[in-house]
Amino acid sequence: MADDEARKPYELPKALQQLSGDLGSLSVFLILRWIVGLKGAIAGTTLFVLGDLARRLWFRRPISRIYWVVSLMTLAFGTVDLIVDDPFMLKFESCITNLMTAMVFAVTLRGVPLAQEIAQSWQTEPLPDRPDTRRFFQIMTGAWAAYFVAKAALYLWAALVLDYTMALMVRVPIGTGSMLVMIVVSLQGRRLFNLMKRLGWLPT
Read off the pLDDT of residues 131-178 as tens digits, 9 standing for 90 and up: 899 999 999 999 999 999 999 999 999 988 988 788 878 888 888 889
pLDDT-derived band of residue 199, with 50, 70 and 90 as boundaries?
very high
Q: Is the pLDDT of residue 5 over 60?
A: no
What does pTM read for this prediction? 0.71
Of 104, 26, 19, nearest to 65 by C-alpha is 104
C-beta of residue 90 within 8 angstroms of C-beta of residue 81: yes
Range 68-90 average pLDDT: 67
Report pLDDT for 84.
Answer: 63
Report pLDDT for 194.
Answer: 93
